[in-house]
């Protein structure tokens, strides 16, 4: 049985994984912030200043070993305080996103804040910047759907090896990569900025970090916008099994139906079933012969999973599928993969994995993973096995204690919660759960919206007006608000591979 083989192999390496958790050597004490113009051209173009801040690896040992956070700031013209922007992820740099959001919110509002972005611990320019295996996603990967137990065992050896390498390099840090650790880092940032309170704008997973921060540090959040709410109990395994895997498949069907309605342009079929057959036919073709020697079924799926995160990509990805399926254009697939799914280094994945695996307990018996993936794949084949292997290092992660912070609403301000009803990556029901938990909060619903990260990023004037009023003066609507989504957004979507374009979508994916 593949499950028993994986279990025995995991037991052999556990001692090595635990060995990486040896106590760290204390480092120099934290110093204050010194803001200078950012050296990186991409940040300098946004008018950002940069600084670094030393924080404890373990916040229960404040005099122990330190790591460094990289910060950015868009300085206010006349400041009402600090607005921290968290783009979600985990594993996503926050420094550039602070500048991006500052550039799209109303100018008067942006001018009233020192807008701060943070590369969280282990991410981007923070030190250390995690990287466990730079070649882990070297394409093409094997087909993520195992045809037999032997193939499944060979696939499982990959995340097992990845976990082993992460523990060997960062065993001293991995137990301290949780969302709680990031929230405690945020309070160190607040203190270093000399602020009694901060305001917070969090997208996706960033909503959980913000809620944890307010829970751990009551009264330190003055205003909080939680946009596209991540599961408040941080049970990430259940999130993927219950929400993402079936949700991605449902969104794929929406995508196929939309293409069928545009058959004059794409010629992939006039029904969703015909387009689905074209998609899975293309997947079979790259399994037999990877496009340009690079895009096999794993890479193909990862590229098209973006339809679940960003409806403005639908025309681009539909055109890519048509170019390959109808004309055999391998370059079109390669270009889309490189723009939307290729891993440039290992930092984003290493940090994503480290946080996900540290927050809560994941199943450690491979038979559970096998059973769930097999069951879900039967009805939701679009993403299930691909997601399974993406998350599988958590089955083999070092066995340190985990305890997700319970969000009770205590300590949080009356928050503004924003969510699109038809976002399938992040469930609308979780926004309603958080709304019911946070006293005095208001829920702004984008009715019919498909995508996460609505505030200031979707050109929704109804949503943006409510967020602006709240951040500018603390004004909440008298009651919950419903805004109609722009249903032409995806149809009018334009995606060109210009400078910065791919990354502008990439950070929305988690």
Asked if 480 contacts 443 with a C-beta cutoff of 8 angstroms, the reply is yes
Res. 13: pLDDT tops 70: no
Kind of pairing, strands 49-56 and 66-74?
antiparallel
> What confidence tens digit (pLDDT) does each residue in 273-298 have?
999 999 999 999 999 999 999 999 99
**From the centroid of its chain, how far is CA 348?**
9
In angstroms, rounded to a whole number, what is the distance separating the alpha carbons of residues 118 and 85? 8
Could you tell me the pLDDT band of residue 10, with boundaries at 50, 70 and 90?
very low
Q: How far is CA 118 from CA 11, 32, 471, in A?
A: 37, 15, 19
Could you tell me the pLDDT band of residue 255, with boundaries at 50, 70 and 90?
very high
Could you tell me the pLDDT band of residue 32, with boundaries at 50, 70 and 90?
low
In angstroms, rounded to a whole number, what is the distance separating the alpha carbons of residues 24 and 32? 23
Asked if 194 contacts 188 with a C-beta cutoff of 8 angstroms, the reply is no
Asked if 473 contacts 435 with a C-beta cutoff of 8 angstroms, the reply is no
Q: Nearest 5°: phi and psi at 159?
A: -65, -30
> What confidence tens digit (pLDDT) does each residue in 328-365 have?
999 999 999 999 999 999 999 999 999 999 999 999 99
DSSP string, 433-475: HHHHHSTT-EEEEEET---S--TTTS--HHHHHHHHHHHHH--
Sequence-ordered list of residues with C-beta below 8 angstroms from that of 353, at least 6 positions apart, any chain: 91, 132, 162, 166, 391, 393, 394
User: pLDDT value at position 403?
Assistant: 85
Go through the domains of the chain in sequence order and give each one's CATH number.
1-30+141-168+243-403 (no CATH), 36-129+176-234+407-484 (3.40.50.1820)
Sequence-ordered list of residues with C-beta below 8 angstroms from that of 253, at least 6 positions apart, any chain: 272, 276
Res. 491: pLDDT tops 90: no
User: pLDDT value at position 14?
Assistant: 39
> What confidence tens digit (pLDDT) does each residue in 156-173 have?
999 999 999 999 999 999
Asked if 318 contacts 262 with a C-beta cutoff of 8 angstroms, the reply is yes
Res. 501: pLDDT tops 60: no
User: pLDDT value at position 11?
Assistant: 44
Percent of the chain with pLDDT over 90: 88
Q: Nearest 5°: phi and psi at 112?
A: -90, -5
User: pLDDT value at position 486?
Assistant: 85
> Which SS3 state, helix, strand or coil, does residue 226 take?
strand
Res. 28: pLDDT tops 90: no
> Which SS3 state, helix, strand or coil, does residue 114 take?
strand
**Section 88-111 average pLDDT:** 95
Q: Residue 83 forms beta bridges with which residues?
A: 115, 199
More confident residue, 503 or 234: 234
User: pLDDT value at position 493?
Assistant: 43
More confident residue, 10 or 224: 224
Res. 500: pLDDT tops 60: no
State the chain's mean pLDDT as an integer: 91
Instruction: Specify the pTM.
Output: 0.91
Res. 102: pLDDT tops 90: yes
For the chain, first and last CA: distance in Å?
33
Structure tokens at 44: 């300098």
> Which SS3 state, helix, strand or coil, does residue 224 take?
strand
> From the CB of residue 335, how many other CB atoms can be counted at a distance below 10 Å?
18
**Section 472-496 average pLDDT:** 78
> Which SS3 state, helix, strand or coil, does residue 377 take?
helix
With 0-12 CB in 10 A as exposed, 13-18 as middle and 19+ as buried, what is 479? Answer: exposed
Res. 31: pLDDT tops 90: no
**Section 216-243 average pLDDT:** 96
Res. 37: pLDDT tops 50: yes
């Amino acid at each position: 049985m593949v499950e028993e083989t994986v279990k025995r192999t995991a037991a052999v390496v556990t001692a090595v994984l635990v060995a990486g958790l040896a106590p760290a050597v204390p480092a120099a004490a934290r110093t204050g912030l010194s803001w200078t113009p950012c050296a990186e051209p991409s940040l300098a173009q946004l008018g950002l200043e940069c600084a670094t801040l030393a924080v404890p690896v373990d916040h229960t040992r404040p005099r122990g070993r330190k790591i460094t956070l990289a910060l950015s700031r868009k300085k206010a013209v006349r400041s009402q305080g600090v607005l921290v922007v968290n783009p979600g992820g985990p594993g996503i740099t926050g420094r550039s996103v602070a500048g991006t959001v500052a550039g799209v919110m109303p100018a008067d509002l942006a001018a009233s804040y020192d807008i701060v972005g943070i590369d969280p611990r282990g991410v981007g320019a923070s030190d250390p910047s995690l990287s466990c295996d730079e070649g882990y996603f070297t394409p093409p990967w094997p087909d993520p759907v195992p045809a037999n137990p032997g193939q499944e065992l060979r696939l499982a050896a990959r995340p097992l090896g990845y976990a082993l390498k992460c523990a060997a390099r960062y065993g001293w840090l991995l137990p301290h990569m949780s969302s709680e650790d990031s929230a405690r880092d945020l309070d160190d940032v607040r203190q270093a900025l000399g602020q009694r309170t901060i305001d917070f704008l969090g997208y996706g997973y960033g909503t959980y970090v913000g809620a944890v921060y307010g829970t751990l540090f009551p009264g330190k959040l003055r205003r909080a916008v939680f946009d596209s709410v991540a599961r408040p109990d941080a049970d990430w395994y259940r999130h993927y099994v219950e929400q993402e895997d079936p949700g991605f498949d449902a969104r794929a069907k929406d995508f196929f139906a939309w293409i069928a309605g545009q058959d004059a342009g794409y010629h992939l079929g006039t029904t969703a079933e015909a387009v689905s057959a074209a998609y899975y036919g293309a997947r079979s073709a790259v399994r037999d012969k990877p496009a340009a020697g690079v895009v096999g079924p794993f890479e193909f799926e990862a590229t098209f999973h973006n339809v679940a995160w960003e409806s403005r990509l639908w025309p681009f990805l539909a055109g890519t599928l048509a170019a390959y399926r109808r004309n055999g254009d391998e370059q079109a697939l390669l270009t889309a993969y490189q723009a939307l799914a290729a891993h440039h280094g290992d930092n984003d994945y290493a940090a994503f994995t480290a946080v996900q695996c540290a927050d809560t307990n994941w199943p450690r018996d491979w038979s559970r993973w096998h059973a769930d993936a097999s069951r879900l794949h039967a009805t939701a084949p679009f993403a299930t096995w691909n997601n399974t292997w993406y998350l599988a290092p958590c089955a083999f992660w070092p066995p340190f204690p985990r305890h997700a912070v319970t969000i009770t609403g205590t300590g949080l301000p009356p928050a503004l919660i924003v969510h699109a009803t038809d976002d399938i990556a992040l469930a609308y029901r979780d926004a309603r759960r958080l709304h019911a938990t946070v006293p005095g909060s208001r829920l702004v619903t984008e009715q019919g919206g498909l995508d996460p990260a609505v505030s200031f990023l979707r050109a929704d004037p109804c949503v943006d007006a409510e967020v602006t009023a709240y951040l500018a003066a603390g004004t909440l609507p008298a009651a919950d608000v419903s805004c109609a989504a722009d249903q032409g957004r995806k149809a009018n979507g334009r995606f060109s591979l210009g400078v910065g374009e791919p990354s502008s979508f990439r950070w929305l994916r988690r």
